Amino acid sequence: MSSTSNKNILNTPPTGGERGTVIKADKLTKRFGDFTAVDQISFEVNKGEIFGFLGANGAGKTTAMRMLCGLSLPTSGTGRVAGFDVYKENEKIKRNIGYMSQKFSLYEDLTVKENIRFYAGIYGKSDKFIKDKTEFILKQLHMENEADKLVKALPLGWRQKLAFSVAIFHEPQIVFLDEPTGGVDPVTRREFWSMIYQAAESGITIFVTTHYMDEAEYCSRVSIMVDGRIDALDTPSQLKKSYQAKSMDEVFLKLARKAARSESNPTKTA
Amino acid sequence: MGTGNKEKSVLVNDLVKFYGKKKDVVKALQGISFDVTHGEIFGIIGPDGAGKTSLFRILTTLLLPDEGRAIVDGFDVVKDYKEIRNRVGYMPGRFSLYQDLSVQENLEFFATIFNTTIDENYDLIKDFYSPIEPFKDRKAGKLSGGMKQKLALSCALIHRPSILFLDEPTTGVDAVSRKEFWEMLKRLKEQEITILVSTPYMDEAGLCDRVALIQLGKILSINTPQKIIDDFKKPIMAAKASNMLHLLNDLKNFEQVEDAYPFGEYHHAVMRNNFNEESLRKYLQQKNKELELKKTEPDIEDCFMSLMPASHKEE
């Protein structure tokens, strides 16, 4: 690992992967019995990109994400994440990615410091690395005075920002964010996105799902899943052009409304 | 109809709710007052931790307030709780029907509790129930999210309540299903049912007749969505350029800009009242490529952010 001086920690490029593509999926498919949850999705994500992964409930986002995180084996197709194969090297994938969701992020009954130590320890970071970087992060979050407080005593917005810092503490190549800003107030939501931008500038690739369509605008590129397939993938401005829409909200509605297995069309839901 | 104020379905006066003991007490509601007129769709809009669920649980008599008073359909939430329970429908944020009963069994269960039948009130629930009726023998636990929501709403309505409380019905729901849910609520309003609905999504404010913006147990503003927007007196400029991150910093460094933040495709810059558009344009053009700058109307989210107390913005 490179220098641990405060300034360099965030700017150090993640190790292990080559520049260029960090996620590559080719006809990746997952079937449960005769139900095809993810249907031959193909796409690439580049290093340092903020990749928005959108889709209606039930479109297959979670299943696709689980395959990319090495948590679920695909039925067919190929996939490489952080340079590793999704079939054979899923343990290596887990070591080289970060993950955060709205539902589960930190242990509420541990202190701020204990949470950081716990997660960093899981990823096998040295005591010196953990000590230096903990100081840096607490300073960055203006949470020096909260270091020994229980996480459950913190306001929700602080918790979500801390959770993000913890998810990228081990300097993963990619971080997967599953609805990270749900229920967060509008100011904190924007602070959270400025942290995402900083992480992306430091070279960490961001893979993010959200139900807030204004957040889709903050992404470098956006994919929209419909019925297990990726029906659209482009920059937000190009998507708006292609679908002759004024906003990403409109693009999303145009695509998602034609879904056969949408929530509002239960007769076709599996 | 209740015996009290016929016009007002809900009257809330200085409601306070604390959790925990002296040392680490959480102030969930810090003196909240508002009223809801009969037949209104009234939105309680705010992020997690604002106190929305505590408020709904007090108004549906499931939780006792520490201070203050609330009247629901003419009855006091503390003294007359039994009366209120017959008159309100409540759909909690978390799915709380019986997972191992079928769709129809759940609905029949709630109908029986309230001494009525599905047939008697079928017209009221038809909108929500008919799409899931083909699956009436399926266990509730096996339904998709959207179907669960329709069943939960049917169960909350089966006794024809005069007031319906919906706690975050659209949280975690995608944009398409959210739109459809609100269309269903509009139709329900025609049946003269008063609807109190809470949501963390600011864009849903525009679908309510009136809204209360709420944050950390305090109400920031109560009004019609349009009036809340009209009350925002400062000009807002929308800006876009090739490098949005640099543009944001440039905006923040300009002295006539009071606040600047990302807002979807554009950044919003809240300007001081005497600002000069041309000098802003010149300043930004020097530093940015492909600059696009235009006046824009505030959105509810702009209003919410400007109403948030400064101390919380730093959190």
Substitution target from A188, A261, A263 for chain B, most B beta carbons within 10 A: A263
Min CA distance, A7 vs chain B (Å)? 20
Cβ-contact B58, B7 below 8 angstroms: no
Name chain B contacts of A53, Cβ cutoff 8 Å: none
Residue B224 is predicted with a pLDDT of 97
**What does the buried/exposed string (b/e) look like for A111-141 if buried means 16 or more CB atoms within 10 Å of the residue's CB?**
bbbbbbbebbeebebeeebbebbbebbbeeb
Question: Do A182 and B172 count as a contact with CB atoms less than 8 A apart?
Answer: yes
CA torsion through residues A198, A203, A206, A212, sign? positive
Helix (H/G/I), strand (E/B), else coil: A234: strand
pLDDT band at A262 (very low <50, low <70, confident <90, very high): low
Substitution target from B52, B265, B292 for chain A, most A beta carbons within 10 A: B265
Domain B8-229 in this protein, CATH class: alpha beta
Which chain B residues touch A if contact means CB-CB below 8 Å? Answer: 24, 46-49, 131-132, 134-135, 143-147, 171-177, 179-180, 200-202, 215, 245, 261-265, 301, 304-305, 308, 312-315
Q: pLDDT tens digits for A26-80?
A: 999 999 999 999 999 999 999 999 999 999 888 999 999 999 999 999 999 999 9
Min CA distance, A121 vs chain B (Å)? 28
ipTM of the shown complex: 0.83
Residue A153 is predicted with a pLDDT of 86
Residue B311 is predicted with a pLDDT of 55
Question: Do B131 and A266 count as a contact with CB atoms less than 8 A apart?
Answer: yes
Question: Do A57 and B245 count as a contact with CB atoms less than 8 A apart?
Answer: no
Question: Do A185 and B308 count as a contact with CB atoms less than 8 A apart?
Answer: yes
Min CA distance, A239 vs chain B (Å)? 12
DSSP states of chain B as a string? --SS-SSEEEEEEEEEEEES-STT-EEEEEEEEEEEETT-EEEEE--TTSSHHHHHHHHTTSS--SEEEEEETTEETTTTHHHHHHHEEEE-SS--S-TTSBHHHHHHHHHHHTT--TTTTHHHHHHHHTTTGGGTTSBGGGS-HHHHHHHHHHHHHTT--SEEEEESTTTT--HHHHHHHHHHHHHHHTTT-EEEEEES-GGGGGGSSEEEEEETTEEEEEE-HHHHHHT--S-EEEEE-S-HHHHHHHHHHSTTEEEEEEETTEEEEEEPTT--HHHHHHHHHHH-SS-EEEEE---HHHHHHHHS-HHHHT-
For chain A, the structural domain boundaries read: 6-104+167-268
Helix (H/G/I), strand (E/B), else coil: A238: helix
pLDDT band at A18 (very low <50, low <70, confident <90, very high): very low
pLDDT tens, per residue, chain B with 315 residues: 444 455 899 999 999 999 988 777 888 999 999 999 999 999 999 998 899 999 999 999 999 999 999 999 999 999 999 999 999 999 998 888 999 999 999 999 999 999 999 999 999 999 889 999 999 999 999 988 778 889 999 999 999 999 999 999 988 788 888 888 899 899 899 988 999 999 999 999 999 999 999 999 999 999 999 999 999 999 999 999 998 889 999 999 999 999 999 999 899 999 998 899 999 999 999 999 999 999 999 999 999 999 998 655 444
Question: Do A184 and B48 count as a contact with CB atoms less than 8 A apart?
Answer: yes
Cβ-contact B304, B214 below 8 angstroms: no
Min CA distance, B3 vs chain A (Å)? 38
In whole angstroms, give the CA distance from residue A156 to residue B134.
41
By Cβ distance, the residue of B176, B202, B315 closest to A264 is: B176
Helix (H/G/I), strand (E/B), else coil: A191: helix
Tokens 């039948």 found at: B117
Q: pLDDT tens digits for A189-215?
A: 999 998 999 999 899 999 999 988 889
Cβ-contact B241, B251 below 8 angstroms: no
In whole angstroms, give the CA distance from residue A208 to residue A175.
8
Name chain B contacts of A186, Cβ cutoff 8 Å: 47, 202, 301, 304-305
Name chain A contacts of B261, Cβ cutoff 8 Å: 187, 190
Tokens representing residue A195 in the block: 């942290």
Q: Does domain A6-104+167-268 have CATH number 3.40.50.300?
A: yes
Helix (H/G/I), strand (E/B), else coil: A26: strand
pLDDT band at A270 (very low <50, low <70, confident <90, very high): very low
Cβ-contact B181, B169 below 8 angstroms: yes
By Cβ distance, the residue of B147, B200, B264 closest to A183 is: B200
Cβ-contact A99, A106 below 8 angstroms: no
In whole angstroms, give the CA distance from residue A40 to residue B139.
31
Domain B233-297 in this protein, CATH class: alpha beta
Residue A259 is predicted with a pLDDT of 78
How remote is the C-alpha of B37 from its chain's centroid? 16
Nearest residue of B to residue A162, measured between CA atoms: B315
In whole angstroms, give the CA distance from residue B145 to residue A219.
27
For chain B, the structural domain boundaries read: 8-229, 233-297
Name chain A contacts of B46, Cβ cutoff 8 Å: 185
By Cβ distance, the residue of B132, B172, B264 closest to A214 is: B264
Cβ-contact A153, A112 below 8 angstroms: no
Nearest residue of B to residue A261, measured between CA atoms: B144
Angle at A93 between CA A89 and CA A95, to 5 degrees: 120
By Cβ distance, the residue of A183, A197, A249 closest to B48 is: A183
CA distances for B220 relative to A147, A168, B45, B305, B309, angstroms: 31, 35, 10, 10, 9
Give every strand in the sheet of B236-240, ordered side by side. Answer: B257-263, B266-271, B236-240, B292-296
